[in-house]
Amino acid sequence: MTIDLNIKVGGAAGQGLQTTGIALAKTLKKSGFHIFATQYYFSRVRGGHNTFKIRISDSPIAAMNENVDLLLALDSESIDRHLSELSDGVVVVDADVVKVNSSSESIFHVPMLEIAKEVCGDKIYSNSVSMGAVIGLLCLDMSNLEGILKASFKKKGEEIIQKNINAARAGYDYVKTNYPGGCKFSVNESGEKEKLMLISGNEAVGLGALAAGVQFLAAYPMTPSTGVMTYVAANADKFNVVVEQAEDEIAALNMVLGASYAGARSMTTTSGGGFALMTEALGLAGMTETPAVIFLCQRPGPATGLPTMTEQGDLQFVLTAAQGEFPRCILAPGTPEECFYLTAEAFNIADKYQIPVFVLSDQYLADSLFTCKRFDPSKITVERHLLSDSELRTKKEDYKRYKITPLGISPRALPGQEGVLVLSDSDEHDEFGHICEDAENRIKMNDKRMKKLELLRDEISVAKIYGDLDAAISLVGWGSTYGPLAEVVDILKAQGKSVNLVHFTHIHPLPVEATRKLFSKAKKTVCVENNSTGQFAHHLKLETDVKLTETILRYDGKPFSPEFIIAALKEKEVI
């Protein structure tokens, strides 16, 4: 990593911070950099203090660090709060508009409003001026920003496009002629322009669902899960998907189960509070053995918690939610690639085992933008495990929806197929699906269902190791902590330490022997989780009897940074 720059845009909600941030991130990606961008925002439509942070590098990155090199301050609070984060950086601010309380030498005034009025006759163009100023400070070519502005304002017509370009160019030129010291950040555009994507975790989940042939999505909006619902809805016509906004989460999962029962590949999207309402229907999925994919994007609870922030606080809830015992599967992606492939895998597991499968994400992964290689849809298979009409025609006995088989998986036919009737029941039932409260039947049916969990346990992927296979220190993470933890491994290895990352994506069920083996050599094992109780560490102990030696926990609503983890490792004398 020879380039590692951090740009922070700070301001109030409604000031166009997100638009500016995304346009800058896209421009920098076009210039050939690897990007990681996160947003920190509050649950309000206007006001408050929000930030959009972009990290750029010439090597792949998957985490944010805590430095700031360039601060674009859209309000005075941004300077007051973040000036101390700069070591040797620049604050770009329109001092005509923003009250500047500091006399720091880093502050560089760009009269954005004045330029916008002069060049375009309207102050609304000052955001574009600011973008040009940032690109100018980085001494990059203007052409990529122009391209991005063209694409962003395509729908608004030529005139608007041109005005934005003119505004950006004026900001760029202003910096070039007025910034003392010329090119402060000499970042060269990357020579190899890889075809990288700039994508958020939520978009990648949506793409994965479309690649897996999702046919029906019913959901009720809840931050931070809504992005997946809107992404699928935006592409529903192209992919022949029906998306329905249900009246509540209860209806959403019940609808999904009805659609899935009748043969459609179906999913719902929600967050913790919404999932709380779905739990009864989760039990229904368990009892009726109806496949369902539940995308659950975590945010801090309890109750409404911190609606726009991050936490990995719902794992224990998801593991045991709903009445009674039945098999379920939990997958937790940590990168956009994993979001894409694991969502597709979730559908296949749901269909094969006829169980609910969770894709457990969180706000940090959902809303962050990552650069990554194109996904390969040809790697995705769509496995429905349904009885075909011809198989049914040659059947010898009456169809039994809940036939007891050696593996516990019953052959699945659909209502409407000729020659079969499909009966599903939330009560305990016999092989035909009829209510049956008989004790012997209960045991048989319960065993049949639970057998599937053991079968899945044997088939499920084991955690991946990042770094050396045998290391003295193993950092253990799941889901979205992948990026910061992988960077910690890189940093510590460069310092000559023996450390690796054991990254779990397949959270439940856990393959027992294979998981134990991962920890046989490490002397110190440190679980790093975004919650206050070490939920995954408990789960690991319970399922595999692996006891981790340390935990590093964060539960202030913010994601981990590599610096945070390294400081904690030092404090705990692990390193």
Binding residues vs another protein (CB under 8 A): 195-199, 203, 207, 210-213, 215-216, 218, 235, 237-242, 244, 246-248, 250-252, 254-266, 280-281, 284, 288, 374-375, 377-378, 380, 382, 414-427, 433-435
Torsion-angle region of 557 (φ positive above 0: left; ψ -120 to 50: alpha; else: beta): left
Burial string for 160-185 (b: 16+ CB within 10 Å, else e) reads bbebbbbbbbbbbebbbeebeeeebb
Rounded (10°) angle between helices 112-120 and 126-137: 120
Please say which residue, 61 or 436, places its beta carbon nearer to another protein. 436
266 vs 258: CA distance, rounded Å: 9
CB of 374 to another protein, least distance (A): 5
Please say which residue, 116 or 255, places its beta carbon nearer to another protein. 255
Please say which residue, 193 or 523, places its beta carbon nearer to another protein. 193
275 vs 248: CA distance, rounded Å: 11
CB of 309 to another protein, least distance (A): 25
Please say which residue, 160 or 422, places its beta carbon nearer to another protein. 422
Q: Are 257 and 267 in contact (CB under 8 A)?
A: no
Quick one: tokens of 527?
């679980």
Please say which residue, 441 or 544, places its beta carbon nearer to another protein. 441
83 vs 293: CA distance, rounded Å: 45
209 vs 339: CA distance, rounded Å: 10
Strands 266-270 and 4-13: unpaired
CB of 262 to another protein, least distance (A): 4
Quick one: tokens of 208?
């994965």
Please say which residue, 235 or 533, places its beta carbon nearer to another protein. 235
Please say which residue, 177 or 378, places its beta carbon nearer to another protein. 378
CB of 196 to another protein, least distance (A): 7
CB of 287 to another protein, least distance (A): 10
Contacts of 8 (CB under 8 A, 6+ apart): 51, 52, 53, 54, 68, 70, 71, 72, 78, 82, 85
Please say which residue, 133 or 420, places its beta carbon nearer to another protein. 420
Beta strands in 138-212 (DSSP E): 196-200
Q: Are 144 and 172 in contact (CB under 8 A)?
A: no
Please say which residue, 64 or 198, places its beta carbon nearer to another protein. 198
CB of 52 to another protein, least distance (A): 18
Please report which residue ranges of 289-419 form alpha helices under DSSP H.
315-320, 336-353, 363-367, 389-393
CB of 194 to another protein, least distance (A): 10
CB of 236 to another protein, least distance (A): 8
Q: Which residue in 33, 52, 134 sits closest to 91, CA to CA? A: 134
The residue assigned the tokens 């009805």 is 258
CB of 503 to another protein, least distance (A): 24
DSSP 8-state symbol, 409: P
